[in-house]
Chains A and B, each alone.
Chain A
Amino acid sequence: MSDSIVCHDCGLALSAPAQQRRGEWFCPRCRARLGSSHRIRVEAVAALALAALVLWAPAMFLPLLSMDQFGLYNAVSVFSCVTALFSNGYPLVAALVAVTLLVMPLAQLLALLVTMARLRGGVSLGRWVWWYRQGREWAMPEIFLLGALIATTKLGENATLHLQAGLICLLAMVVLRLIAEALANPAALDRVMERRHDPAR
């Protein structure tokens, strides 16, 4: 039983391939990626998650862009987008933006950091992996960056746009998060938990 694994997508039980096998391996029934010969580099992932966490606060609260128009000045941050939507009478959209840009990235990065710490300490991973998985789907800072690019095309010709520090922080946070996600593959985390008979999955 210790070498048996269960496909996360189709539920098929399989025996794990020999450890020295190279490359990636997939579920024979549904073709889901089940693992690879790469081990999770705990320190590297923890460092990336921590760096992204540090960048989270400036990325959310510092101005991303500012604009001069007809002698007037205005700057926008992720947080002020949420308050603007709220004061315009769109609390549902404001909540959606707050969850996908503010709450979930923070929860995901925290969960990833705690997961790596627990992996290193040999403690049960618990619900933290669940939060990390949810964050992969519901945290959307990279989509917001593309949205910001599209938004700048709609400002009109009288506007002068300036990039601000928050945008650099957001960009750096997105890049670090993407690298951390690529290194900490959820299927690989499943394999680690199976090897240790971790009950919380």
Chain B
Amino acid sequence: MTRRAERQLAWALLIAAMIWLVPANTLPIMTLNGIGGQSSGTIADGIKGLFDSGMPGLALVVFTASLLVPFLKVLVLAVIYWHTPEHPAPATAARAYRWVYWIGRWSMLDVFVVALLAGLMRFGEIARVNPEPGITAFGLAVVLTMLSAHAFSPKQLWKDDDAIRANP
């Protein structure tokens, strides 16, 4: 693949991820059905719930993995792609790219929370957790962002002539 085609693929995947992030954060990710009634919650509701039930540490972990990192990651990648080729600060960009690459997979956390609750809370009418469409959107956003980072190779940050000299 040419460098230009590589960048186009990375952009396309990133834009798709940005679009999926909207329903991921506005639609509920799961519903709890119980004797006390029914309650649906978005990702933000889940974080607030953890905080309200006296677990600020876990709330902070989920906030970072599910809310902060997905948006920050998309933003950081967009800024890196925007300045490529001939990035003005390739070493800094490479460090940011590597950080984003490593941290991005932890955003899958909420998908696994819903998966485990859907598997465990199956007590018919008495207590039941059902997934909601938000979780599909969220999973897609996380995977598309990871694939976008995959499609982009950090070699692009340096000028072409450098790369030619570097690959005799």
Contact = CB atoms under 8 A, between A and B. Distances in A.
A153 interface: yes
A64 to B, nearest CB: 8
B118 interface: yes
A146 B94 contact: no
A74 to B, nearest CB: 6
A40 interface: no
Query: Among A7, A67, A88, A140, which residue has the most Cβ atoms of chain B within 10 A?
Result: A88
B71 interface: no
A46 to B, nearest CB: 26
Contacts, number: 153
Contacts of A44: none
A11 B167 contact: yes
B27 interface: no
Contacts of A140: 105, 108, 112
Contacts of B117: 151, 154
B115 A153 contact: no
Contacts of A88: 118, 130-131
A154 B49 contact: yes
A82 B154 CA distance: 35
Given A146-B61, A150-B113, A84 B118 contact: yes
A37 interface: no
A156 B53 CA distance: 11
Interface stretch (A92-100, A113-121, A174-182): A92-100
Contacts of A97: 111-112, 115
Interface in A54-87: 64-65, 67, 69-70, 72, 74, 76-77, 80-85
Interface residues of A, number: 51
Interface in B50-90: 50, 53, 55, 58, 61-62, 90
10 contacts: A11-B167, A76-B120, A81-B116, A93-B111, A93-B139, A144-B116, A147-B109, A153-B58, A154-B46, A155-B121
Interface of A: 6-7, 9-13, 29-32, 64-65, 67, 69-70, 72, 74, 76-77, 80-85, 88, 90, 92-93, 96-97, 100-101, 137-138, 140, 143-144, 146-151, 153-156, 158-159
Given A72-B126, A92-B140, A140-B112, 12 more contacts: A10-B90, A10-B166, A67-B121, A74-B123, A96-B139, A143-B105, A147-B113, A150-B50, A150-B58, A150-B109, A151-B116, A155-B121
